[in-house]
Copies of this chain bind each other. A is one copy, B any other.
Amino acid sequence: MAAKERLIYLPLGGAGEIGMNCYVYGYGKPGQERLIVVDLGVTFPDMDTTPGVDLIFPDVSWLEERKNRIDGIFITHAHEDHVGAIGQLWDKLDAPVYTRAFTAIHARRKMEEAGHNPDKVQTMKPWPDTIALGPFQVGFLPISHSIPESSALVIDTPEGRVVHTGDFKIDYQPGVGEAFDRDLWASVAKVGVKALVCDSTNVFNHHEGRSESTVGPEIARFVAEQRGMVVATTFASNVARVRTLANAGVAAGRSVCLLGRAMQRMIEASTEAGVLPDFPSVVSPEDAGQLPRENLMLIVTGSQGERRAASAQLARGKYMGLSMKEGDTFLFSSKTIPGNERGVIEIMNAFSEKGVDIQDDDGGRYHVSGHANRPDLVAMHELVKPQIVIPMHGEHRHLREHVKLAESGGRLGVLAPNGTCVSLSGNKPEIVEYVETGRVYLDGTVQVGALDGVVRDRIRMALNGHAVVSLVLDEDDSPLGEPWVDLKGLPELGSSGASLSDVMEADLDQALQRADDKIILDDDRLDELIRRVARQSANAEIGRKPEVTVVISRLS
């Protein structure tokens, strides 16, 4: 008897980290499911684990091996952790991309930059419009978040309805973009929802969620009180906030100037898409430089301390001819994402040295999160009334806590970190397979696997330094002179006060003189001997075993 059709859910990224979202839904006989992909996002490198890497993508090998079964790629919204990898990964999947209009602007640009046809990105209208793809019927259900046209997906399948929230908060006054429409959501839920696949970011925050509209008056009051130049930063993609900041500047009699490529691009795209009405007129950086500083407000990129963004450049000196000084004020209308603290604090101290006053979000006065807090997650569960809750968009601890929260509400919760293939068929969800998942690094212009060893070697060189030992052997395979040691990232002098390379060369020379022909004639054994002696010699001198590269040149 042939196996029965089943409905599967498989996260390849985003369930076990905040970032790099990529989720798969499938329907069909086991191994023959038709597939749709939700989101293709990036995550960002750090010096601790991924030095030198430019961007990090989910490893989509599993999908690539099944590319003929992929019917479509759906992008929920235009944040980089949801759309950022579309250009780099699209040709591995080779399926049409569906998004709403604002998101499409970003997705098409990324496709073009990667050399793909931007027409592969198709714009969809919001629910109740849907598209039928194989066994799926999919619609974009508007949901409030911190970027325009964020949408949940309503995925109808022969096994019932799945609602994939995407990133969300419940905001009835988001300022820009669609307010949360409780009635619309209730109507979607009414037919019965099999599974709610749900954002988990703020599951540990027990406070009531706050509307974007609550920060406006606070920001306006703050800006009005300042005397010197005011510079504010927030995520460029939070165009509602950017508009709030700009309006606060205008209300305080200031000209507004946008600084940073992402800031300008995002406002342009929003205006183009028609999602950002009434944005005040702005002045160019050149014109801004001519204005009295008390009449100026800059809105800049770099809320997370990014080294190349406008805020960091202003902290170090000038950006586009503009600079900050004593009496000016810098406002973080943003929260520091865990892991970015050092960079942000560095900027704060650099501003402090210039006499610039710094205002952080003051515990939420000048910033609200774009994600649903715990009470709003409960409200979402109760509104959608799914049989099953599958937490996504969170680290493992968030997913686990969200499962507990769902269960405390009497629902089935499924803990499904990346690679967990869950069958949603039958009476009860079942984990049917663990799929190997991972990360791919964009490194310069090349994609390298996280396990290829490239980054591992960089980390080792950073921690241990690198010694290069070169040895030339003559026609008779005798060492021609002493081995030569080049050091990089290692101290010049050892604890004895002698030159480290001299000591290592002497030790290596002695070892070679004692070595018999079996070693000298065998590249591998000779390499091993040199490596071992070099590491021992360095360790005795400096208490550290460096990485060693051995270069043997034989004239024979």
Q: Which of A304-347 contact B (CB under 8 A)?
A: 338-339, 341-342, 345
Q: Which chain B residue shows the least CB distance to A350?
A: B396
Residues in chain B near residue A52, CB distance under 8 A: 462-465, 489, 544
Are A549 and B47 in touch, CB under 8 angstroms?
Answer: no
Listed stretches A73-81, A269-277, A406-414, A453-461; interface member: A453-461
Q: Which chain B residue shows the least CB distance to A344?
A: B338
Q: Which of A24-50 contact B (CB under 8 A)?
A: 46-48
In the assembled complex, the CB of A364 is this many whole angstroms from the nearest CB of chain B, namely 13
Residues in chain B near residue A47, CB distance under 8 A: 47-48, 51, 462
Q: Is A446 an interface residue (CB 8 A)?
A: yes
Are B458 and A555 in touch, CB under 8 angstroms?
Answer: no
Are B491 and A452 in touch, CB under 8 angstroms?
Answer: yes
Q: Is A186 an interface residue (CB 8 A)?
A: no
Are A555 and B445 in touch, CB under 8 angstroms?
Answer: no
Q: Which chain B residue shows the least CB distance to A553?
A: B472
Using a Cβ–Cβ cut-off of 8 Å, how many residues does chain A contribute to the interface with B?
64
Q: Is A444 an interface residue (CB 8 A)?
A: yes
Query: What number of copies of this chain does the assembly contain?
Result: 2
Q: Is A348 an interface residue (CB 8 A)?
A: yes
Residues in chain B near residue A345, CB distance under 8 A: 338-339, 395
In the assembled complex, the CB of A494 is this many whole angstroms from the nearest CB of chain B, namely 7
In the assembled complex, the CB of A484 is this many whole angstroms from the nearest CB of chain B, namely 7
Q: Is A495 an interface residue (CB 8 A)?
A: yes
Are A480 and B555 in touch, CB under 8 angstroms?
Answer: yes
Q: Is A182 an interface residue (CB 8 A)?
A: no
Contact partner, A349, options B396, B462, B486, B489, Cβ 8 Å: B396
CA distance A551 to B488 in the complex (A): 13
Which residues does A use to contact B, with CB under 8 Å?
A: 16, 46-48, 51-52, 338-339, 341-342, 345, 348-349, 351-353, 355, 358, 395-397, 399-400, 443-446, 448, 452, 454-455, 457-459, 461-466, 468, 470, 472, 480, 484, 486, 488-495, 539, 541-544, 547, 549, 551, 553, 555
User: What are 16 A-B contacts with C-beta separation under 8 Å?
Assistant: A47-B48, A48-B342, A51-B459, A52-B462, A52-B463, A52-B465, A52-B489, A52-B544, A352-B397, A443-B544, A444-B543, A446-B543, A452-B491, A457-B488, A461-B489, A468-B551
